[in-house]
Amino acid sequence: MSNTTWFTHDRFGLFIHWGLYALPARHEWIRNHERISNEAYQKYFDHFDPDLYDPEAWAQQAKAAGMKYVVLTSKHHDGFCLWDSDLTDYKATNTPCSRDLIAPYVAAFRAAGLKIGFYHSLIDWHHPDYPVDGLHPLRDDLAFRQQEAGRDIARYRAYLHGQTRELLTRYGKIDIIWFDFSYPYMDWGWAKGKGRDDWHSEELLAMVRELQPGILVNNRLDLPGDFETPEQYQPFSPVEVDGQRVVWEACQTLNGSWGYHRDNLNWKSPEMLIQMLVDTVAKDGNLLLNVGPNGRGEFEPRASERLAAMGEWLRLHGRAIYGCGSSDFVAPPDCRLTQNGKRLYVHLFAYPFRDLHLPGLAGKVAYAQFLHDASELLLHEHDNANPSNIAPKGMPPNTLTLELPVQKPAVAVPVVELFLR
């Protein structure tokens, strides 16, 4: 296991899903969903020319959004590679784009001060030796299945390991590798899913750690990794494995699709995204938030607007996120708590009328203020031994009350900063 100190401090990263599927703009699993053959999918390869690709602009948007690390798809399940791999012709350098897209990405984000990561698919629907199973785009074509029954996963495995070696030896220090995904539990009768035995995961992981000491590896090799990866949902509480808390990262989308999806209208509001980030950190997790650039290589306006809104909130509230984790204190209703040492942060998801009651904090807070403007909030300590200052009926003992202004501050999620004694 690698040292995750920087990871659990930084808390917020950018996921980027980008490839040929940006052209049809109908979801990154379009080959699977629409049962598309290699031949029919070729038109996207023949027309892939992201002339507006500017990784420095991507990096500046990520940095302005308050993100601290980035993970880009080197290859997704369709098998298309963004770098000039020696092991395949199915790569960006052979499209009208005619260049390696990974090298400038690494240089731009590294120059912006972000940690660098690669997402790499274990699945490959284009490779001639990746066995046809129940996730393959042509799974319903019986003649195709019979014709391809002799595929040899050992040859594909050598390809997988070889490409991983390329990625980890050509671009300097890499901080994260995000493999996706293992599915040994799936069984269609005529085919089974794939896991550690198919990937030779122990051997692959050993090579990764040898080539990049200190790199963080996720948990999708069908082996324990440096961090868990709940996808598209928020855990109820800090994530545990075998009863022990573990490092984890929620991977989430802006609109339910990872790749560029022109007609998807399920966009989360900036307020929801900020609450998602807060909720994650309050449960000791990281948030890896995805953008799917379009076919010309740009973040679309709806994505950029949301990143900018998160960045403005983090400009004012970053110290309630970076370096913070869960708290042992009890959060009031409709709130989340994050804590960093003797600073406790109360994130107000619903703004209360005038009084904010904080159970268990009586006598433990030296000072309180709104974080966005450092304006003082008055404290009221209840003393049940004093008849004139007795706690209202039904209030838990040792409750501290803060006096809030009636008007909600003009920020998406107000945060109260408490300086503990």
Do 130 and 153 touch, CB atoms closer than 8 A? yes
Residue with tokens 């994530």: 239
Residue with tokens 């324990």: 224
Do 184 and 222 touch, CB atoms closer than 8 A? yes
Q: In what order do the strands lie in the sheet with 355-358?
A: 355-358, 400-403, 379-381
Task: Give the span between the Cα atoms of 370 and 415, in whole angstroms.
Answer: 6
Extract the tokens encoding 140.
């319903």
pLDDT tens per residue across span 181-215: 999 999 999 999 999 999 999 999 999 999 999 99
Q: Which helix (H) or strand (E) holds 13?
A: strand 12-16
- Per-position pLDDT tens, the chain of length 421: 899 999 999 999 999 999 999 999 999 999 999 999 999 999 999 999 999 999 999 999 999 999 999 999 999 999 999 999 999 999 999 999 999 999 999 999 999 999 999 999 999 999 999 999 999 999 999 999 999 999 999 999 999 999 999 999 999 999 999 999 999 999 999 999 999 999 999 999 999 999 999 999 999 999 999 999 999 999 999 999 999 999 999 999 999 999 999 999 999 999 999 999 999 999 999 999 999 999 999 999 999 999 999 999 999 999 999 999 999 999 999 999 999 999 999 999 999 999 999 999 999 999 999 999 999 999 998 766 555 566 677 788 889 999 999 999 999 999 999 999 9
**pTM across the whole model:** 0.97
Pairing of strands 355-358, 176-180: unpaired
What domains are there in the chain, each with its CATH number?
Answer: 5-320 (3.20.20.80), 335-420 (2.60.40.1180)
Terminal C-alpha separation, the chain:
36
Task: Give the span between the Cα atoms of 18 and 48, in whole angstroms.
Answer: 11
Do 28 and 290 touch, CB atoms closer than 8 A? no
Whose CA is closest to 300, among 70, 73, 57?
57
Crossing angle of helices 153-169/201-211, nearest 10°? 10
Q: Phi/psi class of residue 214: alpha, beta or left (left: φ > 0; alpha: ψ in -120 to 50)?
A: left
